[in-house]
Structure 1
Amino acid sequence: MTPSPRLPFFVYGTLRPGEPNHDAFLRGRTLVEEPARFGGAVLYDGPGYPYAVEEPGGAGTVRGDLVTARPEEYPALLTALDLLEEYAPGDPRNLYARVAREVIRDADGTAVQAWVYVAAPSVAARLRARGKLIEGGDWATRAG
């Protein structure tokens, strides 16, 4: 199996600064955390966490943060985030898929390849059919 590239992570839910999983998983393990956006996707509310659902060619944007891990922390952090997101390569029971996607830094508009945990295909289909869309694509500003 080919090792995964060491990409930064785009986080948009409970891993963002001020959210419950940020301190538990990211504090002290990152070099940089900066506001960013992920285009071609919309955000749905989940049971205490959101799902980004890709809409190729769509006008949606998900707001979040681009997180660059400390090199010495990267392998452990990748493993921890895969476990948190209940992601295992090739597992049909996955709720999320970890995919490399282009993310835009807010500060300078630079495009960066990053890991994004998006809703797995079966979850995405269910959310499109009957999920609760988070208007504006920002988990931090959701109602309720």
Structure 2
Amino acid sequence: MTPLPFFVYGTLRPGGVNHGPFLGGRTLREEPGRLPDAVLYDGPGYPFAAEGFGPGVEVRGELVTALPEAYPGLLAELDRLEEYTPGDPRNLYERVAREVVREADGAAVRAWVYVAAPAVAARLRARGRLVEGGDWFRRRPGPSSRARAR
């Protein structure tokens, strides 16, 4: 498997509660980025990105490139943190490779992103609270997705 950077948008961002414990001293680069065609939902102390919303919406976060020697262990630790096990229907998140836009130059960068697993995404679409602007650190919960659909 080719090492990919990670796109983080919640507690793993610099300044977030999980950044230091998981990423501190293990990164080569951290730079602002955007995940297009996705929205952000307010969760129980952490957010969920959900895909498939089309152009005009995005999730803001950071592209994090791990130090090569830290990558294998970091990938395993982040999978555990995000409660992701390949193929497990009980997953909260799915780890998927997506094109993320790097803020500095607008380049598309393939990165790992933890997005809401299908069952979680369905619940969020039905009654979740959107984070307006797609930025967890600047969140002002928007109306529920149900209210917005009316």
Q: Which residue number corresponds to residue 82 of structure 1? A: 79
Q: Which residue number corresponds to residue 40 of structure 2? A: 43
- Deviations, residues 18-53 of structure 1 (Å, cap 9, x unaligned): 010000000100000000000010000000000000
Percent of pairs identical after alignment? 71
Alignment of 1:104-119 (within 5 A): 104-119=101-116
SS for the counterpart of 2:21 is helix
Q: 4-13 or 15-24: which moved more? A: 4-13
Question: Following superposition, which runs of at least 4 residues in structure 1 exceed 3 angstroms of deviation?
Answer: none
The separation in 2 between residues aligned to 1:17 and 1:47, in whole angstroms, is: 19
Q: Which residue number corresponds to residue 72 of structure 1? A: 69
> Is residue 121 from structure 1 mapped to residue 118 from structure 2 by the alignment?
yes
The separation in 1 between residues aligned to 2:140 and 2:113, in whole angstroms, is: 23
User: TM-score normalised to the size of structure 2?
Assistant: 0.91
Does the CA-based 8 Å contact 2:132-2:140 persist in structure 1? no
Aligned pair partner of 2:140 in 124, 128, 143: 143
> Is residue 10 from structure 1 mapped to residue 7 from structure 2 by the alignment?
yes
Q: Which residue number corresponds to residue 63 of structure 1? A: 60
Q: Which amino acid aligns with 2:123?
A: R
SS for the counterpart of 2:18 is helix
The separation in 1 between residues aligned to 2:140 and 2:45, in whole angstroms, is: 13
> How far 1:56 sits from its partner (Å)?
4.8
Q: Which residue number corresponds to residue 29 of structure 1? A: 26
The separation in 2 between residues aligned to 1:103 and 1:39, in whole angstroms, is: 7
The separation in 2 between residues aligned to 1:5 and 1:99, in whole angstroms, is: 13
> How far 1:59 sits from its partner (Å)?
2.3
Structure 2: runs of 5+ lacking an equivalent: 142-150
Q: Which residue number corresponds to residue 132 of structure 1? A: 129
SS for the counterpart of 1:133 is strand
Structure 1: runs of 5+ lacking an equivalent: none
